[in-house]
């Protein structure tokens, strides 16, 4: 990701803290999925997988993680939500954003049968990267951050929920 985007994300992280920042990044990622042509996008602020993205036969269910470290935690509810979406025909995946120089979204399909709840080094997911999606998402995410930075800084998640709905993205908060 470019330096300007990283600085904006760090500013949002500093303003809102880790938990709310993760939801903000998730909402910006949902906007990026729509920007790259996924016609059906669902963003969940509470239960279930974080984002569904579908278009022309492709159907993905994403668990979104943000971190400043080199690890992420995947809990039992994350795994169960992904299993549930797989039953509905979605490919389960994890999207990880590390707030660091030279880092972009790492999007990885998951072998759910091999993964147990726990804390994992991000590098564990690199072997299963979905590079085509990463290459589409990174520039779209950078544009979404640039376009919505000021509004998000002022209005946080509420601002982004309004933008998501205005874009036709299904926002589920309960």
User: What is the CATH number for 64?
Assistant: 3.40.1350.10
Which pLDDT tens digit goes with each residue over 89-135? 999 999 999 999 989 999 999 777 778 999 999 999 999 999 999 99
Judge whether 29 lies within some domain. Answer: yes
78 three-class SS: helix
The domain in which residue 141 lies consists of: 3-162
The two tokens of residue 120 are 């994992």
Please state the pTM of the whole predicted model: 0.95
The mean pLDDT value for 161-173 works out to 93
User: Percentage of the chain with pLDDT > 70?
Assistant: 99
Judge whether 119 lies within some domain. Answer: yes
Output the pLDDT for position 57. Answer: 86
Judge whether 170 lies within some domain. Answer: no
Which pLDDT tens digit goes with each residue over 125-162? 999 999 999 999 999 999 999 999 999 999 999 999 99
Task: Write the burial class of residue 73 (CB in 10 Å: 0-12 exposed, 13-18 middle, 19+ buried).
Answer: exposed
The two tokens of residue 83 are 């299993």
How many angstroms separate the CA atoms of 109 and 62, rounded? 9
Kindly give, in sequence order, each residue whose CB lies less than 8 Å from that of residue 91, ignoring residues fewer than 6 positions away.
58, 59, 60, 61, 109
DSSP character at residue 86: H
Is 38 a residue whose pLDDT tops 80?
yes
Domain count, the chain: 1
Judge whether 169 lies within some domain. Answer: no
Judge whether 172 lies within some domain. Answer: no
Model confidence band, residue 174 (pLDDT cutoffs 50, 70, 90): low
Output the pLDDT for position 115. Answer: 84
Judge whether 174 lies within some domain. Answer: no
């Amino acid at each position: 990701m470019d330096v300007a985007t990283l600085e904006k994300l760090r500013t949002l992280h500093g303003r809102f803290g880790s938990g709310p920042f993760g939801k903000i990044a998730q909402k910006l990622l949902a906007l990026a999925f729509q920007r790259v042509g996924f016609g059906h996008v669902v963003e969940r602020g509470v239960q279930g997988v974080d984002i569904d993205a579908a278009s022309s036969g492709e159907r993905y269910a994403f668990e979104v993680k943000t971190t400043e470290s080199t690890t992420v935690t995947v809990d039992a509810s994350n795994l169960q939500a992904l299993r549930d979406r797989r039953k509905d025909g979605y490919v389960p995946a994890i999207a990880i954003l590390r707030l660091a120089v030279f880092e972009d979204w790492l999007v990885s399909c998951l072998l759910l049968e091999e993964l147990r709840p726990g804390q994992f080094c991000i590098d564990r997911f690199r072997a299963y990267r979905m590079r085509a999606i990463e290459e589409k998402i990174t520039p779209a995410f950078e544009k979404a951050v640039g376009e919505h930075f000021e509004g998000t800084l002022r209005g946080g998640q509420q601002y982004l929920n309004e933008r998501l709905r205005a874009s036709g993205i299904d926002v589920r908060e309960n």
